[in-house]
Amino acid sequence: MVSPAIAAEYLESVDPATGEVIARFASTPVAKIPECVERAQQAQSEWRRLLPAQRAQFIGRLRDVLFHRRAEVAEVITREVGKPRVEAIFSDVTVALDTAHYYSNPLRVARWLRPERVPHHNLAVKSKRGEMHFEPYGVIAIISPWNYPLAVPMGQILPALLAGNAVLLKPSEFTPWCGALIGELCDGAGLPEGLVQVVQGGGEVGAALVQTEGVAKVLFTGSVATGRKVAESCARRLVPSVLELGGKDAMLVLSDAEVEVASSAAVWGGFTNCGQACLSVERLYVERSVAERFTELVVAKTGRLRVGPGSEADSDVGPMIRPQQVERVERQLRDAVARGARILAGGKRAARGGNFFEPTVVTDVNHTMELMREETFGPVLAICPVANAEEAVRLANDSVFGLGASVWTRDAKRGREMALQLNAGAVMVNDVISAFGICEAPHGGRGASGWGRTHSRLGLQEMLQVKYVDVDGLARVRKPWWFGYSAELAVAADRFLEFLYAPDWRRRVRQARGALGTLFRKNRI
């Protein structure tokens, strides 16, 4: 059920292609957030009692509702984010649908959520039967960005629900319509009242949500700067967080790569969603023997891209989301050119004006440039020829970010070996970005790219807290380490260690005989 946000103010949904206001949504007053949390807690107390397979059934219904409304959802994504229709379908709707499909499988879910036996190796605790139980946190806050306004939040809401939690979703203030639609989809699936509530608003609403008593965990996806604030806030309240932050993904093209295919991958990886993807290819390290041909192909293919509104069927690259993002790209390019970079394609605002920016290819770059150090989050590919694979790895790892990377080679073994040397949460050999769309693949970063994982079995685990339970079969026996200490007990304790760990087995048996009587003597407290 969507919260009936009692509005003091409105959020404007703006079409980034035209700057027009296309819808208005009531923002949730900060003062109302504690009430939302309370309602979520009430709903969760029932929801957690359902069997995992029953919760999975709701996820299946959510998938069906999304499937039926997919055209409308894709249309709203295109209008609100500006991305081409094909991308709204492939990157948002398909990923969300497949995630729902994945988490709705009752057998898989039952296997993941059932308690796990914990066999004990130590003789001292052999009488205990140990188990790990997986329990929901309660109310989870999910704070989302605008760039994949369906795929990102759904990839987190679904496992949160499956684990038995309630969710308060705060979509980006740039995509309130997509956020509202997610609420409607949950309604349509018949989820209990209050279980999923959409809290609309900007940063102040996100900040208030993180600070509200009763929010037991925070999943934040967004920029490094905001992620840092969220982490600080969570630390103050001692609640755990998952941070999915920015990236500066490198693509390593080796001399034996399929250059024709790799160049298409670079162009798509750099310019899909107008370069506004956390896993966008931003840095290209290309072995010198193929660098010239690769660069020529990238420049030629970039020149063939059609820049236009996402609503026009043949647009390849839509607008950027807001003027400030365009300005950041311009600033990085200015700095790079001042330090010796050469622009081979694009490099300026597109003739149609507004937030449209020409897909840009740059070379003669180095790591003193902001363009190579900071996330660009715009349509810019920076190509850096390198002497060999070792140099490519060294430069790729010379970054505070560690989200994704790719290696291009016809030699699968070498590709895998290089993948293991890269400092990233995911490395694709001969593909870019696709790991985000694979339900079984854990998604998340290292370093400034954040911590924790979403998607996959690990993404579900993030939504669960572990409880260890053991039951001692020797209920009538006092433990040897309890009170009633004496010099004799210290000797016996040491003999017990000899029994467990002495290298010579004869000595171990001898010591055991001497120790057991003292350890289990009846006159203990």
Q: Which of 32, 63, 170, 301 binds ligand NAD (CB under 6 A)?
A: 170
| CA–CA dist 419, 426 (Å, integer) | 9
245 and 223 Cβ atoms separated by less than 8 Å: yes
**Cβ nearer to ligand NAD, comparing 139 with 257:** 139
Q: Which of 234, 274, 278, 439 is catalytic?
A: 278
Is 244 in the active site?
yes
For position 371 contacting ligand NAD by CB under 6 A, the verdict is no
Q: Restricting to residues 196-235, which ones interact with ligand NAD according to CB under 6 A?
A: 202-203, 206-207, 210, 221-223, 226, 229-230
Q: Which of 244, 282, 287, 374 is catalytic?
A: 244
| CA–CA dist 102, 114 (Å, integer) | 17
Least distance in Å: CB of 166 to ligand NAD? Answer: 19
Least distance in Å: CB of 377 to ligand NAD? Answer: 6
For position 249 contacting ligand NAD by CB under 6 A, the verdict is no
Least distance in Å: CB of 54 to ligand NAD? Answer: 30
Q: Which residue has the tokens 């229709």?
A: 85
Q: Starting from the edge strand earliest in sequence, which strands make up the sheet with 249-253, in order?
A: 342-345, 360-363, 380-386, 281-287, 249-253, 404-408, 426-429
**Cβ nearer to ligand NAD, comparing 363 with 423:** 423
Q: Provide the phi-psi class of 50: left if phi over 0, else alpha when psi is between -120 and 50, else beta.
A: beta
| CA–CA dist 520, 513 (Å, integer) | 12
For position 315 contacting ligand NAD by CB under 6 A, the verdict is no
In our burial notation (b when 16+ CB lie closer than 10 A, e otherwise), range 322-353 reads eeebbebbeebbeebbeeebebbbbbebbeee
Least distance in Å: CB of 145 to ligand NAD? Answer: 3
27 and 136 Cβ atoms separated by less than 8 Å: no
How big is the site for ligand NAD, counted in residues (CB under 6 A)? Answer: 30
Q: Which residue has the tokens 């006159």?
A: 523
Applying CB under 6 A, the span of 41-49, 239-247, 283-291, 516-524 interacting with ligand NAD comes to 239-247
Provide the token pair at 448.
Answer: 């400034």
For position 172 contacting ligand NAD by CB under 6 A, the verdict is yes
| CA–CA dist 48, 464 (Å, integer) | 11
Provide the token pair at 354.
Answer: 């507004």
412-451 footprint of ligand NAD as x/- string (CB under 6 A): ---------------------------------x------
| Pairing verdict, β 450-451 and 241-244 | antiparallel
3-class DSSP state of 289: helix
**Cβ nearer to ligand NAD, comparing 181 with 286:** 181
Secondary structure E strands in 374-521: 380-386, 401-402, 404-408, 426-429, 446-447, 450-451, 464-472
Is 278 in the active site?
yes
Q: Which of 149, 159, 246, 385 binds ligand NAD (CB under 6 A)?
A: 246
Q: Which of 3, 99, 144, 406 binds ligand NAD (CB under 6 A)?
A: 144
Applying CB under 6 A, the span of 168-176, 350-358, 393-401, 487-495 interacting with ligand NAD comes to 168-176
**Cβ nearer to ligand NAD, comparing 34 with 202:** 202
Q: Which of 15, 80, 92, 244 binds ligand NAD (CB under 6 A)?
A: 244
Least distance in Å: CB of 95 to ligand NAD? Answer: 12
Q: Distance from CA of residue 246 to its chain's centroid?
A: 10
| CA–CA dist 305, 42 (Å, integer) | 51
In our burial notation (b when 16+ CB lie closer than 10 A, e otherwise), range 387-397 reads eebebbbebbe
Q: Restricting to residues 278-307, which ones interact with ligand NAD according to CB under 6 A?
A: 278
Q: Restricting to residues 377-406, which ones interact with ligand NAD according to CB under 6 A?
A: 377, 403
3-class DSSP state of 93: helix
Least distance in Å: CB of 383 to ligand NAD? Answer: 21
**Cβ nearer to ligand NAD, comparing 11 with 345:** 11
Interaction site with ligand NAD (CB under 6 A) = 143-148, 152, 170, 172-173, 202-203, 206-207, 210, 221-223, 226, 229-230, 244-247, 278, 375, 377, 403, 445
Q: Mind telling me the catalytic residues?
A: 244, 278
